Structure 1
C-alpha cells in the first residue's frame, strides 16, 4: 500500500483509565480522546506501554481501540498491537485492523530476545498479512533487545512498514536510521520526550509522547516549531517542559503519568497490579512541576506552529 497517514507531529501514548473495580473506564477514556484531539494532536496511540497493554486481556485491548476510534473526529488512531509471540501479535494486529485502526504500533518481541533476523521475520510476517501502516517500536529497556540500524533500514523497504518509534535513548542510532531512510516513505518518531527535540534535529518527524497526555498544547507547539525550523521557540518550550519530562519517568511509566492526569483532573491514577501508585515524595515534586506549568508561557503565547493539523 501507499501510506495514507501522516506520521509526523505529536501522537500521545494514551493512558487506560480504570474504575474502582479496575474495570476500564470507557467514559473517561473517550473524554480524554476528545480532549487530546481538541488540543491539536496529530493522532492518538491507545494500548501501548503507557496504556498498560500488558495487563489487559486481548478482548479489553480491542475494546479500548474501538472506544478511541468511536470518540475521535478526524485524527488517526495508531493501535498498539505488539507481543513477544509473533502469532499473538498477528492476531492482535488483525483484530485492530478489523476494528478500524488507521495504523499499528508494534513493540519488538520482549523476554525471548530474538536475534536481528528473528526481528525481521517477526515484523515482515505481520506486514505481509495486515495491510495497514505499521510502526516498529524499539524500547530495549523493556524488551532486552535493541532493533539495530541495519534491521530498521531493511524493514523500511517493506510497503506496510511506515515508521520507527525510537525509545532506546541512543540519539546516534536515531540519527543513523533517519539518515539511511531519507529516500523511503518512513517516519522516525521519538519515544523519549526528553529526546524529541534533538531527535527532530537529526531527521525525526515527531513523537509518540507520554507528556502530551498532560501538556498537549505545549508539546504540539514544541514539535510544530521544530518541524518548521524555529528552533529558538522549540528550545524554549523544551526547557519549559523539561522538568515534566523528568518527573514523568522517576518511576515506571505510566505510574507518574497517571498521577499527573489525576492531579490535573483528567482521570484516575488507578493502575492494575503489579504497578503501584506514585510515592508521596515524587507526587509532591510532580505537583510542584505541574503548578509551575500553569503559569503563562511566553513561547506558547507567541503563536506559530502547533503541530501539523
Structure 2
C-alpha cells in the first residue's frame, strides 16, 4: 500500500484559468468556473494541467491559483472536492519546489510531467530517477502525467509506469496518450486503491472504465461536467448500452473541442454559453473569436452537448 492513498475514482477536470484583458488572473471568473464545475459534480479539480497554462505562470501565480480553487470550494460547501496541482517543471529541483508550494496552497496530490527540454537525455534511467526523486521530495503524493504531445513525444510505456508505481509516494497516472492497452496492463497489475489509473481524454472515458480505470481527467469536463457524471452513473448502474451511446457523443465532443482553437477556444465556448470569463490567453497562445464560428461543424457539436448539459 502507498504511504498516502491515491485520489478516489471519479471524473476530474483540468480547469482552464481565466485572465482579464491585461492577462492578469481574473479572480471572479476563476471562482465562477470552479463553482460551476463543483456544482456539476466533479470529483476533483486539476489546477495547472495542460489546460491551465501552467508554463505561462510565475511560481506565485501558480500558488495563488491553487489556493483560490481550494478557497472557492471550501467557501461553497465543496470541501469533499479534491484539488490536484500540476507541478511539472524542467528541473528536478524546481518540480520539488512546486510540489511544496502545492501542498502549502491546499492541493492533496501533485501531477508531474516528465521534463521535455532535453529528450535525448531522458533515458529510461533518467525518467525513473526524476520521478522517484520528485516523489521523495514531495510532501504530497505524486502522480505521473503521460502526455506525449507536451513532453516532446516522450511516451512512458507500461513497464516504466509499473516500475514507478512501486514507489510509496507515487500513487497514480493520467494517460493522455489515450492508450487503452497500456491502461489495462496497469489496472490488471495494481488496484485503484494503490495506484489509480485515469484516462486523460473523454473519448476514452467509458473504455477506460471497462478496462478497470479509476475514471478520467479530461479537458471536455470544463464544458459538460454533468454529462460526464451521467456517463459515470450509467456505468456504475450497469446500463452499458445507454453509457455507450453517451460515450459516443462525448467522443465527438472531445474531437470537436480540440478543433475550436485549443485552450482559447474552450474559454471562448465557456464565455459565450455560460456567461462568465473571457477568451483571453497568454501569448504565444491566441484568443478565439466565436463570431467566426457560425458555420463551424465542431462548434455545433459542442453546442449540442452544452444543450444536453443544461437540460440535466
TM-score of the superposition, structure 1-length normalised?
Answer: 0.89
Quick check: 1:88 aligned with 2:88?
no
| Counterpart residue number, 1:307 | none
Structure 2 residue ranges without an equivalent (≥5): none
Q: 1:180 aligns with which of 189, 196, 200?
A: 189
CA distance in structure 2 between the partners assigned to 1:61 and 1:29 by the alignment = 13
Judged with a 3 Å threshold, the aligned counterparts in structure 2 of structure 1 residues 184 and 158 are, in CA distance, closer, same or farther, namely farther
User: Residue 228 and residue 105 in structure 1: after superposition, are their counterparts in 2 closer, same or farther (change >3 A)?
Assistant: farther
Partner of 1:284 in structure 2? 296
Structure 1 residue aligned with 2:254: 245
2:143 match: secondary structure: strand
Q: How far apart are 1:294 and its partner, in Å?
A: 4.6
Change (3 A) 1:30 1:5: farther
The aligned residue for residue 163 of structure 2 is: 154
Matched residues in 2 for 1:193 and 1:50: separation?
14
Q: Aligned match of 1:118 in 104, 123, 126? A: 126
Bigger shift: residues 173-182 or 145-154? 173-182
Matches within 5 A, 1:1-309: 2-4=3-5, 6-72=7-73, 73-74=78-79, 75-113=81-119, 114-143=122-151, 144-182=153-191, 185-250=194-259, 253-264=262-273, 265-278=275-288, 280-281=292-293, 284-296=296-308
Task: Provide structure 1 residue ranges, at least 5 long, that are not aligned to the other structure.
Answer: 302-309
TM superposition shift of 1:42 = 0.4
Three-state SS of the structure 2 residue aligned to 1:180 is coil
Cα drift, residue 220 of structure 1: 1.4
- For 1:168, what is the secondary structure of its paired residue? coil
Q: Give the Cα separation in 2 of the matches to 1:4 and 1:175.
A: 20
Alpha-carbon shift at residue 133 of structure 1 (Å): 2.0
Measured after TM superposition, the shift of residue 20 of structure 1 is 0.7
Stretches of 4+ moved more than 4 A in 1?
294-297
- Per the alignment, in what secondary structure is the counterpart of residue 79 of structure 1? strand
- Distance, in Å, in 2 between the alignment partners of 1:109 and 1:45 is 19
Residues 262-286 of structure 1: per-residue CA shift (max 9 Å, x gap): 2212421111111113473598334
Partner Cα separation in structure 1 for residue 135 and residue 127 of structure 2:
12
The range that moved more, 276-285 or 34-43, is: 276-285
Q: Hey, what's the Cα distance between the residues in 2 that align with 1:294 and 1:16?
A: 20
- Answer whether contact 1:131 1:160 (CA < 8 A) is retained: no
* Residue in 2 that maps onto 1:306: none
TM-align CA RMSD: 2.1
Paired positions, count: 299
Deviation at 1:239, TM superposition (A): 2.1
Bigger mean CA deviation after superposition, 130-139 or 278-287: 278-287
Q: Separation in 2 of the partners of 1:183 and 1:226?
A: 17
Q: In structure 2, how many angstroms separate the alpha carbons of the residues matched to 1:183 and 1:221?
A: 21
Give yes or no for contact 1:258–1:268 (8 Å, CA) kept in 2. Answer: yes
Distance in 1 of aligned mates of 2:42 and 2:192: 26
Deviation at 1:240, TM superposition (A): 2.7
